[in-house]
Amino acid sequence: MHYATVAATTVKGQVVSKPVVVVESPTKVRTIEKYLGKDYRVVATVGHIKDLPEKEMGIDVENGFSPNYKTIPGKQKVITALKKAAEGAETIYLAPDPDREGEAIAWHTADVLKKKGRRFYRVLFHELTQNAIVQSMSAPEELNRDKYDAQQARRILDRLVGYQISPLLWRKVAGGLSAGRVQSVAVRIICERERAIQAFGPEEYWSITAHLQGQVPPPFTAKLAKRNGEKIKIPNQAAAQEVLALIDGQPWRVQNVKKKTTRRNPLPPFTTSKLQQESIHKLKFSARKTMSVAQQLYEGIDLGPGDPEGLITYMRTDSTRIAAEAAEEALSLIRQCFGNNYAPDQPRFFKNRKKAQDAHEAIRPTTMANTPEKVASHLTPDQLALYRLIWQRFVASQMQPALIDQNAVTINVGDFSFTASGATIRFPGFMALYMSSDHESEEADRKKKEALPELTEGMILNLDRVDPKQHFTQPPPRFSEASLVKELEENGIGRPSTYAAILSTIRGKGYVDLVRGYFKPSELGFIVNELLVANFPDVFDVDFTARLEDHLDRIEAGDANSQALLSRFYGTFQKELDTASEKMLSMRGVGMDTGQTCPECGKHTLHIKVGKNGHYLACNGYPDCNYSRNYTRDEKGLVAPIELPKDEASDKLCEKCGKSMVIKQGRFGPFLACSGYPGCKNTLSINGNEAGAATGVACPEKGCDGMLVEKRSKRGKVFYGCNRFPDCSFATWDKPVARACPSCQAPILVEKVTKKNGTFVACLDRSCGFKEKA
């Protein structure tokens, strides 16, 4: 049956509404309406409509890990609109994204729209083009229980871990911390790399380079490689000088010349992880930005008035499979634009790696007709940059390999062998259109090598000079966003749809910082990671997490049972959780032993602790010894206390006891404290009662002729108060605006900023309720 012909009818006197197509994103609605016409009503769920509750775990462990789904706050209006759109409809086509999350949205939508006699079909739009949409509507499927079970199992696993370990961290470390089943493993990978960098000891080594000339130009260089046929290592200057002495005066004879032509093959079209890595390298996009822009290209771009069209296939995939028709279309374009010698006789298809799901094609343009140049005027700069990257990678994947002529020369000098190499491009092939960042690196290395002159075996060469050079081995590099995505993929941690979220989450929680484009663990990240790894050796183990991902894939494929997986996992997890509840080190109490002796009492060791102001060092002999300091770590990770600067005298007297006030350094900078401490604990802002930065706004208090000025509290927070203080005590946390309230005529407004409303101005009197966009 071709469902695109179904229209509204009357059955037994009842009006049967036209079928409803439910999609995930409002952006898709116009694109799909364009191709389905007026015979369908297309509506959007705007993402998930149901989820586990925010303020409780929402999992009934005793009842088969049954989830207690609730309507997401704010989504009741969406559900009401869905029900209204579906009134009278007997057929509902559920078309959220073709992945696990989309499947969950489809099931939850079916649950809220279920009605006696109503039929639900699952429709998978792998690309938003006319042919793809009509074909999918012509062959709808049943809802996929296995895929939904896999999504649900992942959600339950994440909730079991997060909602039971996070409260433990609140008790043992600090409030507001959280742990995640996958995110915490990513933090562990970053922390372990940092520890490896800290533990690294550079080793000295030397290279020896000879500058040579043959019988014809150009001159070239050769590097020492072997001694008596064995690879040579030169550990220090003395060893280098010994080599120089042994080759001094020896003839430089060409031992052999090897010439060969190698083929450099194009890479497959993008998977999700490879797209993220390449856009980070080439476009400087974050993983999250890459996925956001790719979503826009998939959902549809207006290429003319009322003419939205999806430009790429679905962007969450780990498959390199492509449709034969798409490959043939690419070959036709290559012959037209580059010539027959750039196009192979047959399309090139790529094998998927073992764990690839192959539910979707690789990421590719939906049609070769939409060249980057043709659609450029309809795209934003970011959209065009990403589309061009995807388009070029796909077209290049169907082009001929590049042919590289390589020359390798071995030169004998006594017992030693030097080598030189050069390479030239005979035929650029796919490189005429596109080179990946890896290929660009290889090409840069090739260009660094000088062209070799014509050399023959037995030829004697002229030596210009020999250069010895000192080097040191380098530590492993920190992870960039691109290399961390690659590491997660290679270790089987997460899946294509989760990489961007993982990277954003670990930064948002404050466990890692992005320093000059590379991830570095924060001190809090180190502390939490050490506690989690010590107390949950299985749950946060890299291999264990990867095996869980494999099990989830097997559930989706129908080869495993979700209940069995959850039971096995929870058995291990519950034991570790019970043990950790009793034995996890309390950073609020005992803290982590640094092994360093307290410099004040000399009896006890210093421990790292966490208090309301963050982490610090304290003597374990407290309360007998009150020593405590902030601290830093050196490049080896060793803890070093930050000694406090000596108190400075001030010209102010304490208003409580009359003793002199001194300037001390606190967490928020300098402040005034009574020199009679601990007998008198009076403190003041460093500005005291002096005016701060002027705001130009008159004090709103009746009878006051003062002006509002910017001040700082004892804890360093900015507020605004009257410069007539203490005669006038008016103060507000919000920035004042010199404008009367148009609603109640209050003398000033204040500027506020919230995540929900952005920046806006509001009346100082809360009972008024006036507010408007700034």
Cα dihedral value 612, 614, 617, 618, nearest 10: 0
Beta bridge partners of 453: none
DSSP letters for 364-433: -BS-TTS-HHHHGGGS-HHHHHHHHHHHHHHHHHTSPPEEEEEEEEEEEETTEEEEEEEEEEEE-GGGGT
Cβ-contact 271, 340 below 8 angstroms: no
| Alpha carbon separation from 49 to 82, 110, 151 (Å, rounded) | 11, 11, 15
The helix/strand/coil state of 58 is coil
Question: Which of 234, 238, 246 has the alpha carbon at shortest distance from 208?
Answer: 234
How many Cβ atoms are within 10 Å of 378's Cβ, its own excluded? 16
Question: Which of 43, 46, 47 has the alpha carbon at shortest distance from 84?
Answer: 43
What is the enclosing helix (H) or strand (E) of 159?
helix 145-172
Cβ-contact 484, 506 below 8 angstroms: no
Which residues make Cβ contacts (< 8 Å) with residue 106, sequence separation at least 6? 22, 94, 95, 96, 122, 143, 148
Say how many CA atoms lie within 13 Å of 120 toward its Cβ: 20
Cβ-contact 106, 96 below 8 angstroms: yes
**First and final C-alpha spacing in the chain:** 55
Give the length of the chain.
774
Q: What is the CA radius of gyration of the chain?
A: 34
Cβ-contact 196, 547 below 8 angstroms: no
Cβ-contact 465, 419 below 8 angstroms: no
Which residues make Cβ contacts (< 8 Å) with residue 171, sequence separation at least 6? 586
What DSSP character marks residue 181?
T
Which residues make Cβ contacts (< 8 Å) with residue 294, sequence separation at least 6? 275, 312, 315, 363, 386, 390
Question: Which of 237, 211, 236 has the alpha carbon at shortest distance from 224?
Answer: 211
The helix/strand/coil state of 571 is helix
| Single-letter residue type at 195 | R
Q: What's the CA gap between 178 and 553, in Å, rounded?
A: 26
Report strand pairing: 119-122 vs 91-94.
parallel
Token pair 């804890």 is found at 715
Give the dihedral sign, CA 161/166/172/173: positive
How many Cβ atoms are within 10 Å of 480's Cβ, its own excluded? 17
- The single residue of 3, 93, 314, 342 carrying the catalytic annotation is 314
Report strand pairing: 660-666 vs 70-71.
unpaired
What DSSP character marks residue 179?
-
What DSSP character marks residue 678?
T
314 part of the active site: yes
Phi, psi of 747 (to 5 degrees): -65, -25
Cα dihedral value 178, 183, 188, 189, nearest 10: -160
Cβ-contact 617, 631 below 8 angstroms: yes
Beta bridge partners of 66: 60
| Single-letter residue type at 35 | Y
The helix/strand/coil state of 98 is coil
Residues recognised as catalytic: 314
